[in-house]
Structure formats: C-alpha cells, structure tokens
Amino acid sequence: MKPAPFAYERPRDVASALAAMAGDGVVKVMAGGQSLGPMLNLRLVAPDTIVDITGLAELKHVEVAGEELVIGACVTHADIEDGRIPDVTRGAMQRVASAIAYRAVRNRGTIGGSLSHADPSADWVSTFAALCATLSLRSAKGARLVAMKDFMLGALESVLQPGEMLEAVRVPVMSPSARWGYVKSCRKTGEFAHAIGAVLIDPEAGRARVVIGAVEAAPIIVDNAEELFGGRITNDFKSRFDARVADTLLSKAGMSDAADRHIHVTILRRAVAEAAA
C-alpha cells in the first residue's frame, strides 16, 4: 500500500506556494498530511505534485487582532489542545481539539488542512461555524474573507478555487456571557463523527447559533436559533429546547431517515444541555 509517485515541492513563502500550485498537472497542497496521507497510500489520490506548506512561517503565525484570534492554517490540533496559542473561546477550542482523532494525528494534523478538506464529519467544520469564524483565503489574485458558514458547499466541496489556499482562521473572542456546547457521536474514541451538535448560546444577548454537523453534506447552520427554543433565547434555554422543531429542520434539510434524525436531534439536545451545565 504505497502511493503512486509524486513530485514534491517545499516552497519558501506563500507567494511561491501559490506559484507552485499553478504548476502543471494535478497539484495538491499538503499540510500535516493526516487526511491526504491515507488516500495517497491507498492510491485513491495520485497527484503529480505535492506542495508541502508546513515550512511556511506565515502559516504558523498566531495573533490576537482586535476582537479576533487569527490562527495560521498550519497550526495543529495539538497546538490548540496544549494551549500553545492564546485562548479566546474560554477553553472551547481546546476541548474540541483534544478529542480529534488521536494524539499522534493531532501532532501533525492542522486546522487549515482539515477545513480545506471540507469533510462534513471533521470537528473544525462545525466548531468554527458555531464560533462565527471567518476564513482568510489567498490566491495569486489576492486575499478574500469567507465566513465559515459560507465556506462549505457540500461533502468535500468548499468555495476554495483552484490556485487558492486557506491562509488563516479568524475566531471572534467569545463573549463572557456566551455558553458553549459541543457533542459528537462516534462509534469509537477518535473515529469519525456520525453526528455533531455545536451551539453557542448567549442568553444575555438573546442570541443562539446552532450547528448540526456530520450530516454527509455541509453542516446545517441556524444563525438565529430562537425557533429551536420556543421563540426566544433566555437563561432557561435548556428546558425550552424543542426537539420537534429540530426534527422538522432536519426533515426540511432532506434527512429522510428517521433514525438519522433521531441521532442528530439527540446529539443537539445534549450539546444544548452541555451549554447549560
């Protein structure tokens, strides 16, 4: 189980990485390689060239800029888990990071790689959507910002254009009154999620953002989730959570299997309960 041959480039900076991405044949960007590696080994993917961006210092840069934490795309799950970057989410990202796959995978897997891969089951896809993060994308034409909620088009499909790479994730500082809940359902520790519920509920502001993830498509994002809580977001949001509304939401989103809906609603209810705890 060895990959088909590929050429390898390790560019000096983002500009040369973008130039390399415009090279001949099929070019794949690789960061930690924890998703691409298995597919290369299985020969499901056989690019002509791999562009390794993990040497780029710009992509490992982290800073708090105003009300946002800007995290370079090549920051790893373990970097977040271990607190090597500032915490603006009161531990939420740290907890999510610590439950991604396994430690050895987290030591190389990156947030940028995970998001670029656009796997619906990946934790950051749902987490960043719920945290109202913005993604900074860069191509030879320049940079653009895309809200995480608009990034995914479907399973393994994002708005990333050919020749464009994810440069950084911008995570807003979480408000002190906001409550966070994140629950996923996996058959085994570290395995991919069958259902994800991510909620950011701010009873003081009367706002809630709800994400139903791992739905085999782009996550279902409810920006103004009052309807899930009987019309308004208050401190008793846990008891106000209306599973029937969630079920209807999933039906409308095309989830026709009752067991699937049951699982997702259950996980969402538990995420809400975690936020209330």
Partner 1 sequence: MRNERDISPAAPASKQGVGARVPRKEDDRLMRGRGQFVGDIRLAGLQDVAFVRSPLAHARIRAIHIPERYRDVVFTSADLVGIKPIRAITGLAGFKPSDQPILATDKIRQVGELVAMCVAPTRAEAEDIAASVTLDLEELPAVYDMLKAREPGSPLVHEHWGDNVFLESFFELDITQALDAPIKVTREISTARQCMSPLEGRGVIATFDHRLDQLTLYTGSQMPHIVRNGLSDCLEMDQGQIRIVSPDVGGGFGHKGILLPEEVCLSWLTMKRGFPVRWIEDRREHLVASSNCREHHYKITVYADRDGTLRGIDCEATVDSGAYSSYPFSACLEAAQVVSILPGPYQMPAYRCRTYSVATNKCPILPYRGVARTGVCFALELMLDLVAAEAGLEPGNVRLRNLVRPEQMPFDNITKKHFDSGDYPEALRRAVAQIDIDGIRARQRKGEDDGRLIGVGLSIYCEQAAHGTSVYSGWGIPMVPGHEQATARLTPDGGLELKVGVHSHGQGLETTLSQVAFEMLGVDVAKIRVVHGDTAMTPYSTGTWGSRCMVMAGGAVATACHELGERAKKIGAKLLQVDEANVVLVDGEIRGPNGSVTLKEIAHTWYRRPQDLPGDVDPGGLEATSGYKPQRDSGTFSYAAHAVTVAVDPDLGDVEILDYVIVEDGGVLVNPMIVDGQIYGGLAQGIGTALYEEMPFDRAGQPLNTTLADYLLPGPTEVPMPWLDHMETPSPYTKFGVKGIGEGGAIAPPAAIGNAVNDALRGLGVEMLQSPITPRRVLEGILAARDAKRTAA
Partner 2 sequence: MNSVELTVNTRAVKRDVEPRTSLADLMRDTLDLTGTHLGCEHGVCGACTILVDGVPTRSCITYAVACDGADVTTIEGLDDDEIATELRAAFTREHALQCGYCTPGMLVSARDLVKRLPDADEKQIRIGMSGNLCRCTGYVGIVRAVQSVITERRARDIAPEPDGGRKVLGPAGSGHKACVSSQKLMPAQPAVSEPAAAVAPLDIPDFTPSTTLEQKFTVAHAPAKVFALFDDIAAVASCLPGATLVGTPRPERVEGAIRVKIGPISANFNGAARVERDEANLSGRILGIGSDQRSRSTTQGEIRYRLVPQDDGAATRVELSIGYSLTGMLAQVGRSGLVRDLAGRLVAEFAGNLDRRLSGDVTSAPSAAADLNGVSLILGLLRERATNVVRRLTGRGGSA
Q: Could you say whether residue 232 binds partner 2 (CB under 8 A)?
A: no
Q: Which of 22, 44, 64, 205 binds partner 2 (CB under 8 A)?
A: 44
To the nearest whole angstrom, how small is the minimum distance from the Cβ of residue 227 to partner 2?
23
Residues 6+ apart with CB under 8 A from 220: 211, 212, 213, 249, 250, 253
Q: Could you say whether residue 61 binds partner 1 (CB under 8 A)?
A: no
Closest CA to 146 of 172, 120, 117, 168: 168
Distance set, CA 112 to CA 11, 97, 137, 272 (Å): 17, 13, 10, 27
Write the interaction track for partner 1 spanning residues 1-20; mark x where CB under 8 A is met and - where it is not: xxxxx---------------
The per-residue DSSP string of 104-121 comes to HHHTT-BHHHHHHHT-TT
Window contacting partner 1 (CB under 8 A); options: 15-23, 56-64, 129-137, 190-198:
190-198
Q: Which of 42, 64, 140, 145 binds partner 1 (CB under 8 A)?
A: 42
Q: Could you say whether residue 263 binds partner 2 (CB under 8 A)?
A: no
Structure tokens given for 48: 């002509």
Q: Which of 190, 204, 216, 223 binds partner 1 (CB under 8 A)?
A: 190
To the nearest whole angstrom, how small is the minimum distance from the Cβ of residue 145 to partner 2?
21
Q: Tokens 């990156």 appear where?
A: 110
Q: Could you say whether residue 39 binds partner 2 (CB under 8 A)?
A: yes
Facing residues of 70 across strands?
Answer: 63, 170
* Residue 276 to residue 237: CA distance in whole angstroms: 7
| Contact present, 70 and 168 (Cβ < 8 Å) | yes
92 binds, among partner 2, partner 1, none (CB under 5 to 8 A by kind): none
Contact positions vs partner 1 (CB under 8 A):
1-5, 38, 42-43, 185, 187-192, 258-259, 262-263, 266-267
